[in-house]
Amino acid sequence: MKAEEFDWMVYHAIAWNQATTLPALIEYAGGDGDAVEASVRRLISYLLIDRQGERLRALSVGESILRCQVRHGNGIPLEIENGVIKIPSTEQGREER
Residue 7 confidence (pLDDT) above 50: yes
Residue 95 confidence (pLDDT) above 70: no
User: What percentage of residues in the chain have a pLDDT greater than 90?
Assistant: 55
Span 56-80, average pLDDT? 82
Identify which has the larger pLDDT, 28 or 75: 28
* 33-57 pLDDT, tens digit each: 999 999 999 999 999 999 999 999 9
Angle between helices 33-45 and 22-29 (to 10 degrees): 120
**pLDDT of the residue at 67:** 85
Cβ atoms within 10 Å of 80's Cβ, excluding its own: 14
